[in-house]
Each structure stands twice: as structure tokens, then as C-alpha cells.
Amino acid sequence: SPTQVTPNDNQDNQFDIDGGTPSGNNLFHSFQEFGLDQDQIANFLSQPGIQNILSRVTGGNASVINGLIQVTGGSPNLFLMNPAGIIFGANAQLNVPASFTATTATRIGFGDDNWFNAFGDNEYSTLVGTPSAFAFDTSETPGLIFNEGIEILEGNNLTLIGGTVIKTNQLELPDGTITIATVPGGSLVKISQQGSLLNLEVEPLPSNPSTAEQSFTPLSLAELLTGDDVSHATEFTDNGDNTVTLTSSGITVAPGDVTVKDVTAQTALLSANNDLTLTESQLSSTGDLTLLAKETVLIRDTPENSFQAVAQGNLKIQGDGGIDIQALKNPNTRFESGGDLTLVSDGNISTDAHFASGGNFSIENLAGEPGNFVSLQDPIITADGDVTFGNYTGSSLKVESTGNIEGGNIKITAPDTGLADLDPDSASDIGQSDINTLRSSRAVILRAGLSKDELTNQVTDNSADASSNQVTDNSGDPSSNQVTDNSADASSGSITIGNIDTSVNTNDDAPVIEGNAGPVILSAQGDIIFRNTEDLSFTEIITTERNGNNSGNVFLETKEGSIRIEGKILDINTEVSGGGNAGKVTFQVPNLDNIDSGKLLQFRTRARGSGKAGDVEFVSQEEFSPKQEQQITDQIEQDLRASSEENSGKLSFSRSPESETNPDPIEPIEPIEPIEPIEPIEPIEPIEPIEPIEPIEPIEPIEPIEPIEPGPDTSKPNDGNSGDQPAVSPSDKTISDTQEPSSSDPGSSDPGNSEAGNSEAGSSDPGTSNASSSDPGSSEPGTPTASSQSNSPTEEVSPETDPVYLIEEAFTKEYQSHFQRSFKTKINTQNDVRNRTRELERETGLKTAVIYVSFVENSSTLPGTRCQSPSIPVSKIDRRFGYRLSEVPQAPERCLPKPNDQLELLVITAEGNPILRRINGASRDQVLAVTNTFQRSLSNPHSLDAKAHLNPGEQLYQWIIAPLQKELNDRKIQSLIFAMDEGLRSLPLAAIYDGQQYLVEKYGVNLVPSLSLTYSRHTDVRPFRVLAMGASKFRYQNPLPGVEVELSTITEKLWKGRSFLNEAFTLENLMAQREQRQYGIIHLATHAEFNPGTPKDSYIQMWNRKLRLYEMKNLLYEPSVELLVLSACRTALGNREAELGFAGSAFQAGVDSTLATLWYVSDQGALGLTTEFYRQLRKTSSKSEALRQAQLAMIQGNVRIENNQLYGSGKNISLPPELSGAGKQSFSHPYYWAAFTLVGDP
């Protein structure tokens, strides 16, 4: 029967599409016109047996779709074919349970030459099976597909294939494949299974102009996009040459182009017949991400918006005609892969970007051979595997790998002048010493065979087969695109290289040279191999300079291999003229026999002028004999002359058991770091950071520690600042990085103590020294500083006067005492926490604040006043509130916690001064009383309709957040990390209320025991597998009927992994599974109790036993687990020991983070939140943001139970009768979502 379009009587603006022509499992529809206005619904009616619905539009006008397309009555794939063009407006939506394909093809093929034609008649009886090809018969460029913003409500795969494709908005399909492609007219594209492109090879179609398909001419881009009869929101400019320019981005689009904004998918393929243009695009995939163009792939970021191409599988960028990447304007721009990262072109490859590969990195031509590339500004390559490229010309180059590095000739023409300072302490950043070298000179740094931890630019973790691109763990048919595991051969770590030239040019035809000649640093775990190039018998390293500039050093190091020369000569030339000094040449080898014998080593380090010639040094890690030394000497031809004998270079041989991996770096910071051994010694703790600095040694007995002694005299003037002012209201107090004493300890700025205090400040953690140099408080006049003792522009205050250090120390010791463990951890200082927030912001893209919430002694002094008891030696006092440590014999009453202790807030952010607020009128007993009321009102499942939680929630908000709201807004904070005092660690912070919104509606929220007890480097968990275990029935406890659905849904539909239920849920099986393969996420769906008392009283219930909390000591530490999920646990709310167990569960088990519940949530609520959490976690590296989005989905009613289905942002989950219940169930009340708390790394 013909296609029938009927208005639905029960649904306004809905049009039911019925009838059509069935053929086998396919159903065909024909439309003269097909378009939808906003709020209109096209409802395709299907039958359970239908596998594909195919629709054609024959009227010759483009389809403008600004409403909802949906399929009901079955789960078929839906195809929409309109050769004239398809435009999806800003309000377009898809609710297609299987795959959706939109194409401007003229025919869709089935089997052998059976076609569903866009025009004319069809022989439907032959159109059976699965569609196998698209034909584009038009002689001109096929029609346009323009996507202004499809919202995919449900679906597996999405394919957009036409002559030109423009996508200006976000496209999300995290569980499926997104394919966007353009093809020329007169081509055939083969497709494989439902909706997936097999390849894009063009097969010419026979010409037959008499057919309607070949005689059809689509509208041009300008006609289609700027015509009066087409409505869409994006503005274009007609350039008059069959191109248009997008007004908002300035991108010019030509026929055959693909331009894409944002894509999130399991697998994504973007393929252009002409150019692929990506400006400020955000592209991410949990599998492979492939970017293809027949001509050029062009990628740009802007200072305002980053570009991101992040694939957990392979990332491939191929422009047959060229690759043009300029993406260094925004610090958040990323090119990252969990698998291999490959750039392919036969044209110019320009790479102004930083690349991080979790597998191999390669630059290739179309034949698969190493390809040449250039860079005008700043190429940095990091790989957890091998790195391969051809010749390179451009600015200073840095390459690091855990495997081998193989390259061609390298010519450096300029330093990386635009390279910004980064945090030298962060393992995910380029080391500051490398930055100085690359930025100040024309340099080459190649390091091969590093461990993953030694990579200075973080790569996506490729462990646990994260990059093998398996669609699900249970499919049995993993993708063939698996990435080789490089860990087994990473130790080889060889460098194979041709000529290296960082010199100034002497001929006019050479590239323009800028800056000074810099060093050549080659450091390999294995061999360094100098290849023959251009049929010459020698390899050159040239760092020469003239006009009075110094030439560059040459440093060649092999830790376990040899230096091999494939030609006859290795020629190293660091000559200099005009008065500069010549660079030094260093060979560092395990043994002198590890240098290729019988080859000529030619060294020219001559200084022509008044400068010094360069030395040549051979350093052996092992003892060597005079014979070995003579053998090397016999291989050498040298010219180490200078204008005077004393300036001439020297040839020397030495032994060094320790290898030096970077001779030029300026950063002597790392040796100072190991300060921790002092930490457990109670009397010495206050001077822990100053150990390495000699001026401190004369400090006599520790016992006076003068900077703190004046503490009791709170009315003492502070260098002219009023030290006797009353306690301030929470509106006007901040702390400068260098003026800590003036706001937290008025006595500590006594001029008589400045010398000791400054020495301590100047010797603090060197890695944080530069972190706050931009802080306006750091140069406040009148503040004692130690600039003469440190290179740091911002000095870290003494631990005795650093309120962050004092709180961190006290919180950490509380957990040490509870778990009876001594944690070997550095106590964080104010600058440590600031640097930590900076790192988190770089990793997650979320502005972050750390908020310390504690109680302090009530007094009329400045905020931050701690204990006021001079009778106890300062070193014996817990300086957070003046609690007496257990070993102190006397116990002055005013040093114990009191009901009238006042609430105090301390906030640290990446930029700006710390914020300190004493909350007048918020005493310990008041705050804890309101907290207990709030907890009881939320955790009662029998009062879910009540609003009893709102009043105490609003009061807590006024105490904890409102005093900070202005600063949080000004600093654009998005994520909050709380370290809480006793009695507040089980506070469901997400649900405190401002009168209109819950806190989680404004911020991501997570809890830490202390930053010192939290893993210091953020980890993206998306590449890892999940091990899900649980029990649904118990001998002595209530059953958990939702566990079986929870485990199967997570591992079969949401995340790669395995699940074990009931009898298989034992500690022995948990350990056995972890021995077989690494699981980065452990999900335990079972009863768990955090009870009063010791860790022996708290437990996780396994099938055959209780796993006590004390038994979990480092249970999941090795191999590492990044996230532990406990979806059915309960905490004795308000009890100190129970709270310590809950908040300390992450570091006790040895995991980075724990997601757990404060009270038992219903099975349905727990299932709803945990499944939505995993869906959201696939979209972000931030666990706290994923939790926030899951909680928002519950608040907004997007996660709900209706018609025996659990609805969420992904596919519905069918529920068994015992879980579904009658009618519709909402989870918007905070009872269902506020109990879930993330503890540890956000």
C-alpha cells in the first residue's frame, strides 16, 4: 500500500507514518516532500519483524527537519534518502532504537544490482536483505547534509553521507558509531552491516544521462543554505564561487568538504572528499577516531576555545593532499590516543601541536613509509610505544617514548619562543628544564625507553587492553583494530636517527634561522644508531654558531645499549666564531666497549675568537682499562683548539655510576624532594621542609620554634597591621601566599623571628616555588621574605604558620590513628594544594576549589587562631584547633574541642589569594545539630514526599557556601573538593540547598580525607575495564534484588569488563581475576557497613564472609585500581569512627577514589544512579562531574521507572517485576541520589 501520513489524535503535532511497501524484512516509503517544523513528530510505525525502514524523497526539494523523527513498534534501522539535500535544524531530534542513516545518494543497493531508486519506479520484490551500497549518480557534487544540532535520544549508529556535510553543533552517541562522509558524484560507496561504512573507495558508475538520477542536479551550497525557502539559524555568506563562509567561525566551505563541531561516540569516522575542516572541535571516542580528507585536514584552536581529538582507541589523521595543524593557542588543546596515533599524507604535514599516544606514534606517507613533517612553532611528541617519522624541519623538537624512536634528518630553524611555563612538578607536563631549553635555543631532545612514569607529557593509559577497541567484553567479536602492547619490548628503547643540525646557516638557500644554537640530547635505554643518509658514509651532528653566540652541547646517552654508526664516520661539530663558547660533547655509555669500534669519531669543537673550545668527555658507568681508553682515542680525529691554550678543549675519560639524562637543564629541584622521612618525628615536623638548606643547620634545639611562640598573645600588633581587631564576619578576609602570618597566626610575623621563618619558607617544596608568582599578594611590602635564598618568586610560608599545612597534618594524623597506619606521605602545603588544583583544571577542564571546613577555638582574635595554651610545648600541640596529642601528659581544658568552637572555612584555588572565613554564630554544637537533622530527614525512606530536609539544608548552605559565593562566582569555580572536620564527613553535601537549587546543581562535589592522603595525579578511568561483583541474596541480611540487573547492565551494555554474582563473589575470586588481567574499576554491589569502633567493626559483605575494613589495607593497590564503587553501603551518620572509615576507605584500600553511599538507597534508586553514572563517565575524565550529571538526571526526572523500564540518558533497561512496581517512579528526591559520595581523586 502507499505510504500513509496520518495526524495522531492523541498526540499534538505527531504524524504517524504507516503503510509503505514491504519486501522481506524491509519496509519502503516514498514522500513527495519530507520536513518537520519545531515540535512536530514524524512517527514511523514498524512491526517486530522489520529490520530496515527505507524512505525516499522524490520532489526535488531539500528536507528541512527541525522536529523529532522516531520509530515505534519495533527496532529497525531507518534510512532517509533525499538527493536534493537534508538540513537538520537546531531542534532536530532522533529517537531511533537501531541505526539512522541520512544520505543524498540517488540509489541504495541490495545484493547484486538491485536498487532502491530515489526517482522513478522500483522493483521492490528484489530489495531484500541488508542494504549493501550507496550510489551517487549525479555528475555534479551530490547534495548537502547540514546538521545544526541533532539531539540523539536513542540509537546505535549514525551515518551522514552526502556531497558536502556541515555540522555546527554537538553530536553525542557514546554507545555507537558516528560516520560523517562526503563523496563525489558518479561514485559508489559500499556499506557493510547495518549503518556502518565498510570503505569509501570510489568506484565509477556507468554514465547514462537518460536516467532520472544522473540528470538530477542538486542545488549549490549557496542556493541551498542562503535561499529564501530554507529556514535555519546558522548565518552564511555566499562568496559567489560556489563556496560559503560560516559567519560565526569564519570557516569557508566548498563542495565536498566536511566541517564538524563536536562529536562524542564509541567509534567515529569523519571523511571528506575535499577538505576536512575542524576549528575548535571537540572530538572524543571510546574506540577509534579517524579523520580523513582527499585533500587537506585543517585543524585550528583559538585562545578562547580548545581543539580536542581524544580517542581511547586509535587516532588516525589522514589528509591525502596535506595535514595543516595549528593548535597551540589554547592550553587545553589535546591530541591523545589510548592506542596508536598516526598522521598520514603525501603532501605537507605541518604539526604545531602536542601529541600524546598511548600506543605507537607515526608520521607516514600513503605508502606507509616514514613521512616528513614541519612545524613552525612547537612540536612535542610523547608515546607509550614507538615513535617513527621521516625528515623534520622546524622549531625545537622534543620526542619521548617508552619504546623506540626512529627518525630521519632533523633541521632546527628556531626555538619554541611561544612555549609557556608549566608546572615542573607535574608528571603530566613538560619539565620546566626542557621548557627553558626548547624556548631559549634551537634544540633537539629525544628520549627513548622511558618508563611510563618518566614521560613528562601524560598519555592516556593503555593498560588492560583499553585500546583494543572491543565493542563489548561479551560480544565475542572484538574489533580487529587492536593495538600492540608495547610493554614487553619497551626496554629496548633505541634511537635511530640521521643528521641533526641546530646550527646557524651559512648559505642563502637554507631556511631562515632564528635564536641561538641549542643542545642535541639523545638519551636511550637501548642503542643509539646513526644511520647512513643520502648515500653518504657519514652522519653529522652540527650545533655551530657565529657572531659571538654560544654553540650547543651534544649529549649522547645509552643506559643499557651501544652507540652504533652505520656509516664510516660520526662527525660532531660544535664550532663557534666571534667570541662565543663552543658546545661540549658527552658520550655516556655502560662501558667504553659499547661505542662502535672501527668507526671514525670526528670532533670539531674549535673556538675561533676569544671564546672557549668545547670539551669532549666519555663517561662509562663501569670500570674501564687503559686499553679501552686507547682504543677510543685511536678512533678520534679532533680539533679542540682555541686562541689560547687555557681556552682549548680537553678530551677526557671518566667513570660515573649514575647517568645524567639531561645535561643542559636548569632545574636542580628534584634532589630536594625526599623530605618525608622527617615527617613521623613529632618534634622535628615543623622544620621538615628546610632540611636540605644549610643555613638552617645552626638552629639550636628545636623546642623553642620561635615563629609560633607568640601565638598566645593574640592582641600583639602585627607589623603595623591591627592584630587586636575582633573576629571578622565572613566577608572580607583573604590570605596572601606570602602573608600567611597576618591572617592565620598574628604572632608568627614577629620581626625577631623573621630569619628562621624565612629560611623555612625559602626551603619549602621546590616543585611549588613558581606556582603562585602571579598572586598579587606575593609582593606585599613589609612581609618577611627569603628571596635571597630561593629562586622562587613566591615563597612558601613556614609550616608553622601555613593554615593549610596545619589542617592537612591534623586531618592526616586522625586517619593514621584510626587505621593504625603510618602513611608515607608528604603533608601538603598551601602551594601544594594550589598546584594540585591547577593540575586538576588542566586534566578535567573544570575550575576547581578546595574547601577546608573545620572548627576552631572561639575567641575575639583573627580567624585562624588555634590553641591558646602556652603551658604545652608548641611542638606537642595539634595546631589545627589546639587538640592535645595523646602523648602530652597535661590536658588544659581550653585545648579540647568545645561546643562553642566556631566554624571556619579556608578555600584554595588555582589562581587568586586563599580565602579564610570565620563564620560568626556557627558554633560546633549548632552546626552538628543541624547536620544531624539534615541527615535524618534525607535518609528516611518513609518521608520521601516531605520537604523537611530543605530548612536544615538551607541553613548549612548559608554557613558553608554562602560566605564564599562571591569569590566562587568571580573565579568561575565549577568543582568543589571538601576536606571536612569531625562530625561533617558524612554530610551529604550535594543536597545542601540555597533556597532554589541544590549544591550539585551548581557544582561538582567530592570529599577527601585530606589532600595529602589523595593520589597526587588525576587519572582518566575511561580506558580501564571494570570488574563487577556482588550478591543478591544473603543468609542474615535483606536481599538486594537489583544487583543482578545492575551487574549485567554495567558489563554488557555500559562498560568493558566482567561480572560475578553470588557464589562467585568471593575474595579468592576477586584476587584471581585481578591476577589474570588489570581492572581499573572495581564495582561491588553488596551490603557494606561503616560502623562505630575500629576498622575491625566495619566490613564489606562478600558471599562467604565479611571483608573487614582493616583487611583492606592496600588490597587493591597493585595492580592499581583507580575507582572502587560500593553501591549499597551504609554509614553510622555523625559517628566519628564511622566517618573516618567511610572517608578513609579509598586510601585504606589503595585506590584513587571510592564512590559509596552514606545510607542504603532502594535497589531501583541505586540501579538508576550507578548505570547513569557509568554513562556519564564515558563522556568526561572527571568522576565528580560524571556523578554530578547522574544526580542531575535524577533530579530532573530523566532517570525514572515507567512501564517496567528504567529510563536514563541511554537505552532503556528492562526490569524484572520485583523492581518495576506499578506506575511511574521518580528519583528526584535527594534520598535517592544524595547518599552517593565520591571520596578521593575527583
How many angstroms separate the CA atoms of 1199 and 687, rounded?
53
Q: Give the Cα separation of 690 and 687 in Å (integer).
A: 6
Sheet containing strand 1200-1202, edge to edge, reads 1213-1214, 1205-1207, 1200-1202, 1225-1226
| pLDDT at site 868 | 33
pLDDT of residue 944: 67
- Percent residues over pLDDT 90 in the chain: 34
- Sign, CA dihedral 781-786-791-797, equals negative
Q: How far apart are CA 199 and CA 187, in angstroms?
A: 12
Is the pLDDT at 708 greater than 70? The verdict is no
* Predicted pLDDT of residue 189: 80
User: In whole numbers, what is the pLDDT of the chain averaged over residues?
Assistant: 77
Span 114-141, pLDDT tens digits: 999 998 899 999 999 988 889 998 878 8
pLDDT score for 505: 64
Give the ranges where 940-1053 is alpha helix by DSSP (H): 950-960, 965-970, 1043-1049
With beta carbons less than 8 A apart as the criterion, state whether 434 and 665 touch. Answer: yes
- The whole-number average pLDDT for the span 547-559 is 90
pLDDT at 972: 93
* Range in 108-122, 243-257, 818-832, 868-882 the model is least confident about: 868-882
Q: Which segment of 878-892, 958-972, 1046-1060 scores lowest on mean pLDDT? A: 878-892
Q: What is the CA 943 to chain-centroid distance, rounded?
A: 40
pLDDT band, very low/low/confident/very high, at 976 (cuts 50, 70, 90) = very high
Look at 10-24, 288-302, 638-652, 771-785 and tell me which has the smallest mean pLDDT: 771-785
In angstroms, the CA 389 to CA 368 distance is 11
Least confident residue range of 27-31, 362-366, 1151-1155: 1151-1155
Percent of the chain with pLDDT over 70: 74
Q: What is the pLDDT of residue 459?
A: 60
Decide if pLDDT at 1192 tops 90: yes
**E strands, 239-391, where?**
244-246, 252-253, 258-259, 262-272, 276-279, 282-285, 289-293, 296-300, 308-311, 315-319, 322-326, 334-337, 341-344, 348-352, 354-357, 361-364, 373-375, 380-383, 387-388
- If you write DSSP's letter for every residue of 1094-1105 in order, what string do you get? SGGG-EEE-SSS
Give the per-residue pLDDT at 906.
Answer: 94
- pLDDT score at 212: 53
pLDDT at 533: 61
Predicted pLDDT of residue 1220: 72
Measure the CA–CA gap between 315 and 1014, rounded to whole angstroms.
Answer: 32
**1152 close to 1122: Cβ distance less than 8 angstroms:** yes
Task: Report the distance separating Cα 520 and Cα 555, nearest Å.
Answer: 6
Three-state secondary structure call for residue 1163: helix
Average pLDDT over residues 584-599: 92
Kindly report which listed range (722-731, 840-849, 851-860, 1182-1191) carries the lowest average pLDDT score: 722-731
CA 365 – CA 344 distance, rounded (Å): 5
Pick the closest to residue 831 from 753, 754, 904, 777 (CA basis). Answer: 777
State the Cα–Cα distance between residues 898 and 416, nearest whole angstrom: 58
Residue type, 225: L
Do the beta carbons of residue 254 and residue 270 sit within 8 Å? no
Grid cell, residue 730, equals: 565572613
| Model confidence band, residue 206 (pLDDT cutoffs 50, 70, 90) | low
Report the pLDDT averaged over residues 318-332: 90
Cell for 271? Answer: 571523511
Lowest mean pLDDT segment, chosen from 506-515, 1137-1146, 1165-1174? 506-515
Query: Residue 299 is which amino acid?
Result: I
**Residues 6 or more apart in contact with residue 840 via CB below 8 angstroms:** 846, 848, 975, 1018, 1242
Q: What is the pLDDT of residue 823?
A: 61
3-class SS at 919?
A: strand
Which H helix or E strand runs over 287? none
Q: Which residues contact 386 (CB under 8 A, 6 or more apart)?
A: 360, 361, 362, 401, 403, 404, 405, 406, 486
Rounded to 5 degrees, what angle do the CA atoms 711, 712, 715 make? 90
CA 109 and chain centroid, separation? 43
User: Are 860 and 842 a contacting pair, CB within 8 Å?
Assistant: no
pLDDT value for 1195: 92
- Helix/strand/coil for 30: strand
Q: What DSSP string describes 701-738?
A: -STT-GGGTTTT-TTS-BTTB-TTPPPPPTTS-B--TT
DSSP string, 514-557: -SEEEEEEEEESS-EEE---TT-SEEEEE--B-TTPPPPPEEEE
Tell me the domains of the chain and their CATH numbers: 1-193 (2.160.20.10), 495-654 (no CATH), 803-872+891-1013 (no CATH), 1036-1240 (3.40.50)
Tens digit of pLDDT for each residue in 259-269?
A: 888 888 888 89
Kindly indicate the confidence band of residue 431, based on its pLDDT and cuts at 50, 70 and 90.
low
Query: Residue 411 pLDDT > 70, yes or no?
Result: yes
Instruction: Answer yes or no: is pLDDT of 76 > 80.
Output: yes
Q: Which residue has the higher pLDDT, 561 or 691?
A: 561
What is the 3-class SS of 211-243, one letter each residue? CHHHHCCCCCHHHHHHCCCCCCCCCEEECCCCC
User: Which residues make Cβ contacts (< 8 Å) with residue 117, sequence separation at least 6?
Assistant: 56, 106, 107, 212, 213
DSSP letters for 1172-1238 = HHHHHHTT-S-HHHHHHHHHHHHHTTSSEEETTEEE-SSS-EE--HHHH-SS-EE--SHHHHTTEEE
Residue 273 has pLDDT above 70, yes or no: yes
Span 369-373, mean pLDDT? 94
C-alpha cell at 786: 627569603
d(C-alpha 146, C-alpha 148), whole Å:
6
User: CA angle at residue 1163 from 1162 to 1169, to 5 degrees?
Assistant: 90
Closest CA to 848 of 857, 860, 861, 835: 835
Q: Is the pLDDT of residue 515 over 80?
A: no
Among 155-169, 498-512, 1000-1014, which stretch is predicted with the lowest mean pLDDT? 498-512
pLDDT in tens, 986-1008: 899 999 999 999 999 999 999 88
Q: Alpha-carbon distance 64 to 227, whole Å? A: 12
Cell of 319: 589528509
Task: Tell me what pLDDT residue 992 has.
Answer: 94
How many CB atoms sit inside 10 A of residue 213's CB? Answer: 20
- Given a contact cutoff of 8 angstroms between Cβ atoms, the answer to whether 1054 and 1168 are in contact is no
Please indicate whether residue 826 or residue 972 has the higher confidence score (pLDDT): 972
What average pLDDT does this structure show over 586-594? 93
Q: How many angstroms separate the CA atoms of 260 and 280, rounded?
A: 9
641 vs 1013: CA distance, rounded Å: 57
DSSP state of 483: P
pLDDT the model gives residue 689: 41
Half-sphere exposure of 664 (CA within 13 A, CB side): 31
